[in-house]
Structure 1
Amino acid sequence: MSRRVSPNRASRSALPALSPFSAKTKTPHWTQALTLDLIIRVLHKTILHPFLAWLIPLCLRAQATPYSHPSFVATTAYASILSFLLLLNILNKRIAYGLPRKVSLEDEVVLVAGGASGLGLLIAEIYGMRGVAVAVLDVRDVGGVGMGGVEEWEEVHSVRYYRCDVGDWGEVERVKRMVEKELGTPTILINCIAAPINGMSITSLPPTAISYTIHSNLVSCFNILQQFLPGMLSSPTGGTVVNLSSVVSYLTPAGLSDYVATKAAISAVHKTVEAELRVSGDNDRVKMILIETGQMATALFEAVKTPNNFFAPVLEPVQVAREIVAVVDSGNGGIIRLPAYGALVNWYAVLPVAIQRLARYLSGIDSAVGVGVEAEKRKGNGSERAMASSDSISSEKEREKGKASSSSKGSDSDVELIEADA
């Protein structure tokens, strides 16, 4: 019988107190905070908010302003338009994604694939501190290279770390049995896996790098969906699936052919699975959430320089994690695109080609990766190091496969479970 971790029970685990890149972040100049996203957020909280818009005609009526007065007519029309647009937005989401499912955290089991660093780590910490049973799957060792030492890790309630190559079907299958035995059937699946960015042209990209990116980004997405989605469909509480993609799958910047291809494929797989759930009538029980973000301030994007901080600001992982957790907790499905320009990427393809070329030139998107990679090379942290890291990870996986083949197959002990005593 599966065992769940009670929200009131402290189960010891090892997760880092802070993401490894956060300690290296310098305090930005105040002008860096002035972005299009900030302006839009302020407008939505003020003059574009229907409630505040209705205060103006009400105040005019309090001053005995006639109904036929131009100021009253204009402000009433403005407030009515905002209210109508809000209702249309609510109706559109309800038709597209149906009613929200009921999310009760004490009955949920969260599985974060790629949760040992970056965005996945923050999401695991958030749910762990709230007492939710969390399983973190990642290929990295605790305290490995780029992860910080074990002494930098702190106890987080109810979170357990499973070392697993999610791109390997056999490993995912064995870890699934371990998670179901220790925590229960996962009902919230968050896929945050992303391979390092190579930043090379297609003629310079080694075949091993292409295979590694596809293995890490795309094959892992198929594996976790095929392994854990059936459990959600049979669960009485239903489930939520979150897939992390990128807006670059629409914009296709130069130097990211392998990365863009896998992210575009993840978005396509997500939408296809959502259609399958809708056809089968299970879309009310299992909600699909697609996250398409721009550049984030993680180690993955160290070699990328944002072309324009005002229109394309670098997202803080905490900001993205907060948005994801809020949507998951609401029980809704949908698509989240960050930052603000992400909401317009669907329109890019319908623009005339000449305007597309002009937009790419003015934004500098095709030189962003190249400039960042060259800067990293001058610091000795270029793509050669990324490739060496990929090769070392591949070699490590080959060695572990050799060890696994010499031991008894199909045993749950083949999967290393890193946890402290409860």
Structure 2
Amino acid sequence: MDPRPIPPQRDSWFAPLSIDLLVKVLKTTFFHPFVAWIIPLCFRAQNLPWDAPKTLAAIVWASFISLCWVANVVNQRIAYGLPREVDLSEEVIVITGGASGLGLLIAEVYGMRGATVAVLDVEEMENGEARGVTYYKCDVTDKEQVAKVAAQIERDLGTPTVLINNAAIVIGKSLLSMSFDEVEKSLFTNLISHFYTLKTFLPALARNENGGTIVTISSVIGHLGAARLTDYAAAKAGITALHKSLTAELAQTHPNIRTVLVTPGQLSTPLFYGVQTPNAFLAPVVEPVDVAKEIIAAIDGGRSASVSMPLYARWVDWYNVLPASLQRIARRLSGIDTAMKTFVGRNGFKLQKEKKEVAIQAF
């Protein structure tokens, strides 16, 4: 039994309150064009003339917000181009590490919506089975197994059109404490496996007339690094660079293939079970369903995208612009380098789950 304590989760009424929630509320109210234009219309309904200071100020604000929304649409179109056509009944979605957590959530959603889904994992599916989802036992760190399963998928389900590279593990030890086998296992699972799956499934995506979509699940840790995550941070930084380089290559050779880079903060999944949240307000734990919604929206829309959440993840690149002294202060205040002290991981999660089940049965 792991002696490390599990930090309490959301033990107060204000725990769900975060800067992300406030921004979300503002985006659907004061920063939404529809709401912004309602304000001057309300003033006009009160018989205020169009040239009244209040009305003019409201019109200027509404115009500014509308221009910002239009600029964002133009920016997305220039950055990612036109979307590809997506027909879920024709899509064959391959998800690595899809037996639990975020991968399983996406698999279940697409399975229920009529898409054909193949899950690759060394572990059995957490829920046993799911409608529309076919499980293939596969170690993605073994290129021969990946090639064998790819052939089975094409024979059983059809030509893959979407690849979601989601497989990951967390060792959670300092570099001095890790064995060479653990280092290799981490880097092969979190980084090298992406090369294996891409090399194996990319030719099939390229053959598809309507193109395909590649989703890469990275992490903000790849930008920041953290104590006891040297292997994980190195791998995530590597797949972020891999994704960006591959996107540049595909833009030249296969422009009909879309790419989606996902850079979340701490996810509320068994992978990081027990990790202490640095700051619940500024850096809240991200729920898998929120990340899944963004990924599914990008795939459904047939568009390339960059998904970063929570809010700080969108600005994490600016961290490296700060002076070194401010970077050190920021790390100390955030607690990023002490968060792993209470880490127990997936095995610890399973142990806690088994204890709860035994207690329920005894009761």
TM-score of the aligned structures, taking structure 1 as reference length: 0.77
Q: Counterparts of 1:174 and 1:198 in 2: how far apart (Å)? A: 28
Match of 1:157 among 108, 120, 131: 131
Match of 1:323 among 294, 302, 309: 294
Aligned residue for 2:337, secondary structure, equals: helix
Q: Residues 38-187 of structure 1: matches in 2 within 5 Å? A: 38-141=21-124, 147=126, 153-154=128-129, 156-187=130-161
Paired residue secondary structure (1:365): coil
Cα deviation for residue 69 of structure 1 reads 2.1
Does residue 212 in structure 1 map to residue 185 in structure 2? yes
CA distance in 1: counterparts of 2:134 and 2:160, whole angstroms: 13
One-letter amino acid of the structure 1 residue matched with residue 305 of structure 2? G
Please give the alpha-carbon distance, in whole angstroms, between the structure 1 residues aligned to 2:226 and 2:152: 40
Q: CA deviation at 1:368?
A: 0.9
Question: Who is 1:307 aligned against?
Answer: 278
Residue 244 of structure 1: aligned partner = 217
Change (3 A) 1:104 1:85: same
Deviations 1:144-186 (A, max 9, x none): xxx5xxxx635x3221111111111111111111000000011
Which of the numbers 305, 309, 325 marks the counterpart of 1:334? 305
Cα distance in 2 between the residues matched to 1:317 and 1:355: 31
Relative to 1, partners in 2 of residues 1:121 and 1:381: Cα closer, same or farther, differing over 3 Å? Answer: closer
Is the 2:171–2:186 contact (alpha carbons within 8 Å) kept by the matching residues of 1? Answer: no
The structure 2 residue matched to 1:296, chosen from 267, 271, 274, is 267
Number of residue pairs matched? 342
Shift in Å, 1:334: 1.0
> Which amino acid is 1:240 matched to?
T
Q: Which amino acid aligns with 2:90?
A: D
Which residue matches 1:272? Answer: 245
Go from structure 1 to structure 2 and tell me whether the alpha carbon gap of 1:183 and 1:60 turns closer, same or farther (over 3 Å shift). Answer: same
- Cα deviation, 1:192-223, whole Å, max 9, x if unaligned, reads 1001x222222222211110011111111001
Determine the C-alpha separation between the residues in 1 that align with 2:212 and 2:11.
39
Q: Which amino acid aligns with 1:167?
A: T
Unaligned runs of 5+ in 1: 1-24, 386-422
Q: CA deviation at 1:381?
A: 4.6
For 1:223 and 1:198, the matched residues in 2 are separated by 21
Of structures 1 and 2, the one scoring higher in RCO (CA 8 A, sep 6+) is 1
Unaligned residue ranges in structure 2 (runs of 5+): 1-7, 352-363
1:106 maps to a residue whose letter is S
Q: Distance in 2 between matches of 1:308 and 1:314?
A: 9
Q: CA deviation at 1:362?
A: 1.1
What secondary structure, in the 3-state scheme, does the structure 2 residue paired with 1:366 have? coil
Mapped partners of 2:47, 2:259: distance in 1? 51
Which residue number corresponds to residue 368 of structure 1? 339
Matching residue's letter, 2:264? T
- In structure 1, give the amino acid aligned to 2:299: V
- 1:26 CA drift (Å): 7.4
> Could you tell me the percent identity over the aligned residues?
46
- Describe the SS at the equivalent of 1:33: coil
Aligned match of 2:13: 30
* Aligned 8 A contact 2:165 2:217 in 1: yes
Q: Mean Cα displacement is larger for which, 65-74 or 179-188? A: 65-74
SS at match of 2:206: helix
Tell me whether 1:226 sits opposite 2:191 in the alignment: no
Deviations 1:346-398 (A, max 9, x none): 1111112222111111111111112x13xx49xx959xx9xxxxxxxxxxxxx
The one-letter amino acid paired with 1:333 is S
Cα distance in 2 between the residues matched to 1:311 and 1:26: 16
The letter for the 1-side match of 2:153 is V
Which of these residues, 249, 252, 262, is aligned with residue 235 of structure 2? 262
Q: State the shift of 1:61 in Å.
A: 2.7
SS at the partner of 1:162?
strand
Cα offset for 1:317?
1.6
Tell me the alpha carbon deviations over residues 125-149 of structure 1, each in whole angstroms, 9 at most, x when there is no partner: 111111211111111245xxxx5xx
Measure the CA separation in 2 of the matches of 1:74 and 1:26.
Answer: 44
Pairwise CA distance, 1:59: 2.2
Q: CA separation in 1, counterparts of 2:66 and 2:21?
A: 22
Q: Residue 348 of structure 1 aligns with which residue? A: 319
Q: Distance in 2 between matches of 1:286 and 1:352?
A: 39
SS of residue matched to 2:260: strand
Measured in 2, the distance between the counterparts of 1:30 and 1:180 equals: 50
Report what 1:402 is aligned to.
none
Paired residue type of 2:102:
L
